[in-house]
Structure 1
Amino acid sequence: MKNIKTILLSGMLLAASGVMTTSCSDLLDLSPVDYYGSGSYWTTEAQVTGYMDGIHKHIRDAADQHIFTFGEQRGGIYKSGTATDGNALYGGNIVLQNFDKNNTGVTNFGGHYGRLANINLFIERVTNADYVGEAKKKYYLAQAYGLRAFIYFELYRIYGGVPLRLDVEVINGIIDPEKLYMARSTPKEVMTQIKKDLDTSMEYFGDVTSFDPYNRGNKKSYWSKAATECLMGDVYLWTSKVTTGDNPANPADLAVAKKHLESVANNYGLKMLSNFADVFDATNKGNSEVIFAIRYAEGEATNGVGNFTYVVQGEVDKKGYRADGTSWNDPLRLNRNGMQWYEYIPELYQLFDEKDERRDATFITSYQKDEDGKLVLWGTHVCKNLGILNAEGNRVYCGDQYFYRLPWVYLSLAEIANMEGDNAGVEKYINLIRQRAYGDSEGVWDTAKYAYKAGDFTQNELAILHEKDKEFVQEGQRWWDIYRMTLTKGGKHLVFCPEANLKNDGNPILPETESYKLLWPIEQNMLDKDPAIKQTPGYEEAEAAK
């Protein structure tokens, strides 16, 4: 693939900063020498540590893409068209499922092959390194294999079969462009490699259950054994329910998912906080329910939450009211550091019960007045994970983004319990989440009023979905949930069922006639330039049928 070739041919990663160049114009004139094999790098433990820092920086670079583009925008919870604040909303084709070879949502496989090239190089160089102690070497390799599995699992869920690049032969001096073409492996081949990498990660972690075994103060922002076990739960739950190409769903995988998720819940000292908002307090990073976090800080990178807020002196600021009838007047103190390029549908806000503390910790809503002076819901604006006001009074979006935290483990275990027909387990795990949501910390948890009482499979599955809808706004779950979860055991996936559509208009998020769109298409530019790459199944047939 031309884009992958460009990345690989330019594989001079600046390990200290984690920046990888993407232009091959200079390197093509150089002799085929492995620059990483010289005496200038791969000689000290500090270089290994710095390189792993760079790999984590690359994961941060893709965090918004992972959470919002891939994890949420297709899930039926985003508005399209015009925001309440008057802006033209971004990502309309993705939100509306408008995909073809000219509208692919993302290009170049989401940029993941540059990240994979760096991980592959790390694995090759560190595996045989004699300048790193054996325990640290295994720890770093465990991280590398876990992160490679994480990226390939994302690619698998997005595209199905993808090129399976596991070596660094280009960096080793092979610059024959014909050797850089690589066809898409089958979904089964990709998943086999993902599970193999996960097993290797577990083997290398061994009995290291600490989130920071070498006291680097990372506050759970480095990949850990708990993260690998979460990913194993994620992967095996997925493959127990979802068929992708030549890789059929295997119900036996459910037991593997359960084993690893129960291990995460019981073996890593994790505990839910008593107050939902405290989980996302930027002064409380790496708290007891966090498992793997993407780190942000003032003066470094910031998260994308500001794109879900509002513009000071925009339409809402000029004409809007708060729920108590007072004028808008910048209630989140954004101080001109906000925008509304994305907006959640009002039905998502309305899903919350008034007593659910997650509602007001997630959203602030704007209102207009009708002709009778009555307040009418106007727009939804995110207040979750807003970061801090710095010493100058400026809003800084430096709250960490979470890929895995303990409530995700609990609700995944609820989904597994539902598959097993274990209603007691469904109730147990849903109610662990609801107890906090309805004020357990204030002693007002009313079991009779707020506890979930299990029903049949469909009722339980939808209850788990909607609990996740409320718990994980801006945490990249909704699309994968409706893709994986089913209306009946072994039946139709929720993405094809009106019951999962919060708009309650009788339509599914995606019609079954467009089921090929579950996987994303490859852009025409890549198809033109790489003869080995073929289009995602279904798109060419759909194009021909027009």
Structure 2
Amino acid sequence: MKKIFYSILLSGMMVLSACDALDLSPEDYYGSNDFWNQKSQVEMFMTGIHADLRDKYQMPVTLGEFRSEILISDVTSMGEGVYGPPMTNNLLTKDNTGVDDWYEVYPNIMHINLFIRNVDKEIDYMTGTEKSFYLGQAYGLRAYYYFYLYRTFGGVPLETESKVTEGSIDITQLYKARSTPEETLEFIKEDINKSESFFNESDKKISDQYEWSYYATELLKAKIYMWSAKVTTGLPSDDIAGDHIATLTAVDPNNSDLLTAKKALLNLVNQQFELLPNFADLWTPEGKKNREIIFALCFNKNELTNWGANWFYNVALFTNATDLDGNKYGPDPLKLLTAGPLRYEYKVPFIEIYDKEDTRLDATFFQYMFEGKNRGACWKKLMGQTDGGTHYYDSDVPVYRYADVLLMLAECENGLGAPDKCAAYINEIRKRAYGDKFEQHKYIAGDYADNEWAILQERDKEFVGEGSRWFDLLRLRDSNGKPFVFSAKAHYGSSLPILTEDKAYMMLWPVNVEVLNGDPEIKQNPGYE
């Protein structure tokens, strides 16, 4: 943990107003009594906490998709080396962990801890309603970070203080052992329930989809409790972590965690959210802040762009590309101007799981043949826009959208023993995907395992690049009651599962050696020693 705290001392807070960035003062200023004395400072600090989150916009895809075996792990269709190994080829070891320092989220958590410490007390410059709203955001965002850490590493250090702002301190006081997985999950539940309780009735509206809200808390709560219902990490006696273990493997109409998840999800139904009629409209410049978005990270051509260029063809090399029928495209069919080199690309067997009638296929991928022999595809959700002779990768990054609510409700109903309700939620997604071809693709409820598979495939097609699949593979179950990460049919284009059962420990990630060397209290995950 020592390195974590040093990085906080060196980090500056970045604040956003809408999408306008301003530099703030050094970190130690925010721990002083000079800062926390007026409402505008609280607002500014919370905006900075959201800026912290935007800085981590790649985290959902890195931790939630890279390991799910749908990305090319060596050379792209255009002959360019990919980014992402050893994650994309599932070759993580204690010396090659893919990510460093718990994905470097502890400085972000420290900022939230500092905020809570200074706002969750008697203050006379904010009303109780105003203070509650900001605390609802803070506890929700802290639960968001810790839930990613828990699903990725198991038990982690639970840091709730901001000691580095308290003046001179013995470095050994900053050492902190990992809590057990059970303790970590209980802490996350406590935080998300605090977040829910702090939001007032007046907060149950979306004023800004770039801000954490009551509805973001409800969706995260559903994710936490659904995970709790279906996955146990290690055993209560474990001092750090064990494998993710399947727990709910069949119908249980009285499962309290699933019932809690369902209740949270229903709080988002019949509110101000709905599916956009056309899936492709979600990803256009005009589609920003649409009625399907519950929470998103803002990108703006005049302020900050994202990593979209890494997902598109190299314009300089694309002159001889054709469509899949052999018709020549021309030098730059998507009008990207300067895109490339292509560094992330989805595998063809994954793209082939889409039916041709599924409108999500062309809205998600731009397919081509390169030099008449290599079939490839660009992921289009982050295509951005061309303006004034320049292409900007300024697509917003969705964190939560309403389609997820519907498919999570399908999963809840399946676990609670209501297969017809499960199928109805799946079909709400398919109606948009297939349009007037829907009746040919209508889902008819099957048994528990059939429905789990249908949910996985629907999530695979719906949430490409949104950081869902790896966690879906760990949570959803096959007919043997085992996570789909051990099922060959979920490993598209292969006869082998993504993980064999002797590699079950790899459901969790290893802790990198710098963390282990920096804090003698931290222990490695089993299997990686």
Same fold flag (TM > 0.5): yes
User: Per the alignment, do residues 85 and 14 of structure 1 end up closer, same or farther by CA in structure 2, a change over 3 Å counting?
Assistant: closer
The answer to whether the Cα contact below 8 Å between 2:113 and 2:161 also exists between their aligned partners in 1 is yes
User: Per the alignment, do residues 21 and 497 of structure 1 end up closer, same or farther by CA in structure 2, a change over 3 Å counting?
Assistant: farther
Residue 319 of structure 2 is matched in structure 1 by 318
Give the one of 354, 364, 367 matched to 2:366: 364
Letter in 2 for 1:42: W
* Per-residue deviation, 1:151: 0.3
Residue 411 of structure 2 is matched in structure 1 by 415
Residue 98 of structure 2 is matched in structure 1 by 105
1:273 paired with 2:272, answer no
Counterpart CA distance in 2 for 1:299 and 1:513 is 50
Residue 457 of structure 2 is matched in structure 1 by 466
Deviations along 1:126-156, one digit per CA (max 9) or x if unpaired, are: 1123212221111011000000000000000
Give the one of 171, 174, 191 matched to 2:165: 171
Counterpart CA distance in 1 for 2:65 and 2:438 is 32
* Per-residue deviation, 1:209: 4.2
Residue 381 of structure 1 is matched in structure 2 by 378
1:114 paired with 2:107, answer yes
1:7 paired with 2:7, answer yes
Letter in 2 for 1:7: S
Deviations along 1:338-377, one digit per CA (max 9) or x if unpaired, are: 331111000121111111111111111111576xxxxx66
Counterpart CA distance in 2 for 1:323 and 1:274 is 28
The answer to whether the Cα contact below 8 Å between 2:310 and 2:339 also exists between their aligned partners in 1 is no
Counterpart CA distance in 1 for 2:345 and 2:23 is 32
Letter in 2 for 1:2: K
Counterpart CA distance in 2 for 1:393 and 1:223 is 35
Counterpart CA distance in 2 for 1:428 and 1:526 is 47
The answer to whether the Cα contact below 8 Å between 1:495 and 1:508 also exists between their aligned partners in 2 is yes
Deviations along 1:486-537, one digit per CA (max 9) or x if unpaired, are: 1138x1111011121111x321011111111111111122212211111112
Counterpart CA distance in 1 for 2:502 and 2:23 is 43
Give the one of 72, 78, 94 matched to 2:71: 78
User: Per the alignment, do residues 496 and 18 of structure 1 end up closer, same or farther by CA in structure 2, a change over 3 Å counting?
Assistant: farther
Residue 40 of structure 1 is matched in structure 2 by 34
Deviations along 1:156-196, one digit per CA (max 9) or x if unpaired, are: 00110111000112312251101000011111111111111
Counterpart CA distance in 2 for 1:3 and 1:492 is 38
1:264 counterpart SS class:
coil
The answer to whether the Cα contact below 8 Å between 2:322 and 2:329 also exists between their aligned partners in 1 is yes
Residue 428 of structure 1 is matched in structure 2 by 424
Residue 30 of structure 1 is matched in structure 2 by none
The answer to whether the Cα contact below 8 Å between 1:294 and 1:403 also exists between their aligned partners in 2 is yes
1:365 counterpart SS class:
strand
2:210 counterpart SS class:
coil
Residue 240 of structure 2 is matched in structure 1 by none
Moved more, 523-532 or 36-45: 36-45
Counterpart CA distance in 2 for 1:389 and 1:345 is 27
Moved more, 150-159 or 127-136: 127-136
Deviations along 1:186-245, one digit per CA (max 9) or x if unpaired, are: 1111111111111111111021344445xxxx3x01000000000011001111111102
Counterpart CA distance in 2 for 1:388 and 1:121 is 38
Residue 60 of structure 1 is matched in structure 2 by 54
Normalising by structure 2, we get a TM-score of 0.92
The answer to whether the Cα contact below 8 Å between 2:282 and 2:290 also exists between their aligned partners in 1 is yes
Number of aligned residue pairs: 508
Counterpart CA distance in 2 for 1:116 and 1:360 is 39
* Per-residue deviation, 1:43: 1.5
Give the one of 250, 254, 261 matched to 2:258: 254
* Per-residue deviation, 1:420: 2.1
Residue 298 of structure 1 is matched in structure 2 by 301
User: Per the alignment, do residues 352 and 58 of structure 1 end up closer, same or farther by CA in structure 2, a change over 3 Å counting?
Assistant: same
The answer to whether the Cα contact below 8 Å between 2:77 and 2:374 also exists between their aligned partners in 1 is no
Counterpart CA distance in 1 for 2:113 and 2:66 is 30
Residue 510 of structure 2 is matched in structure 1 by 521
1:381 counterpart SS class:
strand
The answer to whether the Cα contact below 8 Å between 1:11 and 1:117 also exists between their aligned partners in 2 is no
Deviations along 1:258-314, one digit per CA (max 9) or x if unpaired, are: 110111123x32111111111122222111111110111012222222211111112
The answer to whether the Cα contact below 8 Å between 2:77 and 2:370 also exists between their aligned partners in 1 is no
Q: Which runs of 5+ in 2 are unaligned?
A: 237-244, 249-254
Letter in 2 for 1:320: A
User: Per the alignment, do residues 38 and 117 of structure 1 end up closer, same or farther by CA in structure 2, a change over 3 Å counting?
Assistant: closer
1:243 counterpart SS class:
strand
Moved more, 511-520 or 250-259: 250-259
In angstroms, what is the RMSD of aligned CA positions?
Answer: 2.1
Counterpart CA distance in 2 for 1:197 and 1:18 is 29
1:432 counterpart SS class:
helix
Residue 239 of structure 2 is matched in structure 1 by none
Counterpart CA distance in 1 for 2:359 and 2:492 is 20
The answer to whether the Cα contact below 8 Å between 2:49 and 2:112 also exists between their aligned partners in 1 is yes
Percent identical residues: 39
Residue 185 of structure 2 is matched in structure 1 by 191
Residue 353 of structure 1 is matched in structure 2 by 355
2:287 counterpart SS class:
coil
Give the one of 448, 459, 479 matched to 1:457: 448
User: Per the alignment, do residues 79 and 228 of structure 1 end up closer, same or farther by CA in structure 2, a change over 3 Å counting?
Assistant: same
Counterpart CA distance in 2 for 1:462 and 1:446 is 19
2:112 counterpart SS class:
helix
Residue 45 of structure 2 is matched in structure 1 by 51
Counterpart CA distance in 2 for 1:37 and 1:152 is 23
Counterpart CA distance in 2 for 1:278 and 1:487 is 33
The answer to whether the Cα contact below 8 Å between 2:101 and 2:514 also exists between their aligned partners in 1 is no
Q: Which runs of 5+ in 1 are unaligned?
A: 28-33, 371-375, 541-546
Letter in 1 for 2:342: Q
